[in-house]
């Protein structure tokens, strides 16, 4: 072993600073990834417990299709509220999650003109289209929507802006939408 008169076995201040910085970076990274995975787990749970769309539309309950993607931050933000509503209203309404990145749902994405997410598409207990909402909806807004569907009454209209992810953009930029639209089946304007 070669003896170095300057090596005293202690870490230098620069090395200590680097180790502290590295430790903090690892802790913050773990916390960030942990909550990101948890939110994806909520979306996965909802999607795995969803009925097939044709079954949901024909079982005599109002139905909500939620078009979403795993990468969509707005979808992740709304996921816990959707789980709550699905749990609270399991016998009254069906919530069907449809991942826009899954080619299996391309026909429904085209049929309901999904160009941003999260997009909620509403159907009455006969499976007839009632309207849609584009963007994040808060718990109180979702409650009004679900009550209107369950009670077969008119869907509420909101003037507050909500975030959504645009599917047509290569960089998945944010856009804003401000209300629920209720349309007849032949209204394409």
pTM for this model (two decimals): 0.67
> pLDDT tier at 95 (50, 70, 90 boundaries)?
very high
Share of the chain above pLDDT 90, in %: 46
Lowest model confidence (mean pLDDT) among 37-51, 84-98, 101-115: 37-51
Q: How confident is the model at residue 10 (pLDDT cuts 50, 70, 90)?
A: low
Q: Which two tokens stand for residue 163?
A: 């975030």
* pLDDT given for residue 171 in this prediction: 34
Highest mean pLDDT among 84-93, 128-137, 167-176: 128-137
Cβ contact 119:145 at 8 Å: no
Rg of the chain's alpha carbons, rounded to an integer? Answer: 23
Residue 62 predicted with pLDDT over 70: yes
pLDDT in tens, 106-117: 999 999 999 999
Per-residue exposure over 4-24, b if at least 16 CB sit within 10 Å of its own CB, e if not:
eeeeeeeeeeeeeeeeeeeee
| Model confidence band, residue 12 (pLDDT cutoffs 50, 70, 90) | confident
More confident residue, 142 or 167: 142
Q: Is the pLDDT score of 20 beyond 90?
A: no
Strand partners, 131: 122
**Mean pLDDT across 28-36:** 60
Tokens 């005599």 belong to which residue? 60
Cα–Cα distance measured from residue 113 to residue 44, given in angstroms and rounded to the nearest whole number: 23
Predicted confidence band of residue 162 (pLDDT cuts 50, 70, 90) = low
In the DSSP assignment, the letter for residue 103 is G
Q: How many CB atoms lie within 10 A of CB 85?
A: 19
Most confidently modeled of 11-20, 94-103, 172-181?
94-103
């Amino acid at each position: 072993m070669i003896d170095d008169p300057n090596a005293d076995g202690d870490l230098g201040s620069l090395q200590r600073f680097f180790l502290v910085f590295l430790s903090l970076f690892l802790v913050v990274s773990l916390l960030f990834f942990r909550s990101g995975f948890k939110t994806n787990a909520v979306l996965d749970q909802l999607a795995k417990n969803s009925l097939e769309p044709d079954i949901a539309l024909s079982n005599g309950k109002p139905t909500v299709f939620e078009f979403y993607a795993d990468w969509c931050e707005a979808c992740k933000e709304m996921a816990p509220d959707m789980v709550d509503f699905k749990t609270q209203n399991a016998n009254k309404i069906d919530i069907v999650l449809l991942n826009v990145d899954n080619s299996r749902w391309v026909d429904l994405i085209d049929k309901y003109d999904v160009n941003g997410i999260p997009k909620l598409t509403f159907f009455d207990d006969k499976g007839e289209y009632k309207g849609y909402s584009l963007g994040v909806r808060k718990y109180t807004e979702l409650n009004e929507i679900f009550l209107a569907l369950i009670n077969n009454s008119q869907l509420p209209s909101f003037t507050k802006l909500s975030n959504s992810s645009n599917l047509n953009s290569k960089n998945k930029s944010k856009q804003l939408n401000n209300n629920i639209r209720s349309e007849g089946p032949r209204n394409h304007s």
